[in-house]
Chain A
């Protein structure tokens, strides 16, 4: 492999976000009206750190990722806001310029490794494509790198496997190939859109482990998109919770699990099955997410929120809340007073606010879904 760090030094000073998104809006005009997929998303991620973007289906998390990658068709969608990658603004850039960054400085892996690899081409050919396009490698050199990458992502007998077709590999193997494909040009940003949803539970942990390992190796900024709060505790440094195209809560992972403030986050945490506590039933969030064609007035979450009576003047029904800093690094989009929010959280999650920190540290046991992942501290 190359020595990316000596050749391509991160131009951002230490601690500066590699990617920062502000006021990102994606709207698709359609025959039924405008689909408001993303309505003002803000977040940022630094090299070597992982941001988890969490939300239900349709909350706009995947569209956000595609918009960052420039994969939203600008002929069918209106994209506004700012996406800064390594000091460059992407939304204003022409498609051709963003294409040069894709698969190079930023890469993405997708949910379903079964359908994300081309069924007609050999694994090696698909792997080396990005290296050949962006670094103009020869066929031979690209193939050698492909084998090297397969080896790195833990595929046995990579010299043989490089000539396999995707259908000859298992689901976990294919996701490993997808990861190898995404990382072959050592991108500084990796977006993983539900990378483990389509995989067996046992394989899920391996894949997350692998992403974490390679992240350390390449010093990559990682965005993991998921609806599975169970895996977030293990892998993410920060969490952004999305609802109806907006970030409704954004905090460091431990903080978010220990003292969630937005009632939606609270609802998500309360609907995770817990093995360490006796509960008769799960407490799901009532109702359904709003149609992206028409978001409710006021707070978008108010039709499903149990606590709108805690806010005076029916503000939840009429005034859109802003994403405000509740305490350091903890941003919440909610009208309820911070003190009141913490009281609600404590009562919903059972113990006092302090006691909930246990979820974050013992998150794997709590959710029962994933084995602990060996991430660097």
Chain B
């Protein structure tokens, strides 16, 4: 087990390294000159050149990459030769000259909104999706099953910007059931926090719950025919115990896989929901940075999101061993 985790950890580091190479060089190839972009309207060729030097874009690409990576571990200093060098402490993902701020602190500021959005929606969609899935499976072929499947199909096929805008329009503008969403930390003002998060939670939950409902329904249906479920019934266990303890538990593995990866993906930012509902999260930060060609921020967020997925993969694999005693992690 420990050896397995250690090996998986090494593999994870390798993946992260490869990922950083790809992300870094991919963004180098983007059109547009970051030195020019960072200099604003009143710009002369001299200033552009000076900026290029300060940003480090005059160095060879390999050297830039080396600085980027060593910045993550040891920190780095930008515009070393200028009167006001900018120190960026480790872990340094870069510096946004646009916003005059370290990428790391930008991300740290945007992360809580995204975190709460993802976790809240995650709990909602798992609860709704799994219970509806079980419900539909137990009433397979009857109208309750068809209705649930139909609703899930609608939920699954509606784009989130559509659901989001409709909800926003009717709930906030037309009927004023909720105030205009304005994000605050749940520790400062729990009520306003919930009011701001409620609709985006629903938007994300609808989409994912639809998928999890179908997944759970199929899993339960498959497992309900298994021999050990018949054994459980033959023991005289109540139907509820049979379904939840015996059937659902056995069909849980693929649900856990999807849940882990989906949560990790969302923690990297939900672009559409954050933008519609004015949440200052990673998704909004990413979109704004793309619009402004703020390359260091885009690189930083991409790295972070991809790392989350890689870590989630490892966590999911470890969870397998917890769920299924037959899985030997060697």
Contact = CB atoms under 8 A, between A and B. Distances in A.
Interface stretch (B147-155, B212-220, B280-288, B322-330): B322-330
Contact of B231 (A100, A110, A167): A110
Contact of A130 (B226, B228, B235): B235
Nearest to B139: A75
A101 B232 CA distance: 14
Interface string A104-123: 10011010100111111000
A69 B233 CA distance: 10
A103 B236 contact: yes
B249 interface: yes
Interface string B287-324: 00000000000000000000000000000000000011
Interface in B207-257: 226-228, 230-239, 241, 246, 249-250
Contacts of B232: 118, 129
A120 B249 contact: yes
A167 B236 contact: no
A120 B233 CA distance: 17
B226 A103 contact: no
B235 A181 contact: yes
A118 B229 CA distance: 8
Most A C-beta atoms less than 10 A away, residue of B231, B238, B249? B231
Interface residues of A, number: 27
Task: Categorize the interface residue count of chain B.
Answer: 20 to 34
A120 B325 contact: yes
Contact of A119 (B230, B235, B239, B326): B326
Given A165-B326, A167-B325, A118 B235 contact: no
A120 B236 contact: no
A129 B235 contact: yes
Contacts of A117: 228, 231
B326 A167 contact: yes
B228 A115 contact: yes
A133 interface: yes
A71 B236 contact: no
Contacts of A178: 231
A102 B236 CA distance: 5
B228 A116 contact: yes
A110 B238 CA distance: 20
Contact of A110 (B227, B249, B323, B326): B227
Contact of B234 (A103, A112, A165, A167): A103
Given A103-B236, A129-B237, A118 B250 contact: yes
Contacts of B236: 99-104, 130, 133-134
A69 B249 contact: no
B238 A133 contact: yes
A377 B249 CA distance: 46
Contacts of B249: 118, 120
A116 B325 contact: no
A181 B238 CA distance: 17
Interface in A163-189: 165, 167, 178, 181-182
A77 to B, nearest CB: 14
Contacts of B230: 71, 110, 116
**Which of B235, B325, B326 has the most chain A CB within a 10 Å cutoff?**
B235
Contacts of B235: 102-103, 107, 129-130, 133, 181
Contacts of A99: 236-239
Nearest to A99: B236
A130 B246 CA distance: 14
B231 A120 contact: no
Given A71-B234, A103-B236, A115 B325 contact: no
A112 B326 CA distance: 18
A146 B324 CA distance: 22
B297 to A, nearest CB: 45
Contact of A118 (B233, B238, B246, B323): B246
A101 B234 CA distance: 10
A99 B227 CA distance: 18
A100 B270 CA distance: 50
B229 to A, nearest CB: 8
A102 B325 contact: no
Nearest to A71: B233
A102 B234 contact: yes
A120 B227 contact: no
13 contacts: A103-B234, A104-B236, A108-B234, A110-B234, A115-B226, A116-B227, A116-B230, A119-B250, A119-B324, A120-B249, A120-B250, A133-B236, A134-B236
Given A102-B236, A130-B236, A133-B241, 7 more contacts: A99-B238, A102-B234, A104-B236, A110-B230, A116-B231, A130-B237, A133-B238
Interface of B: 226-228, 230-239, 241, 246, 249-250, 323-326
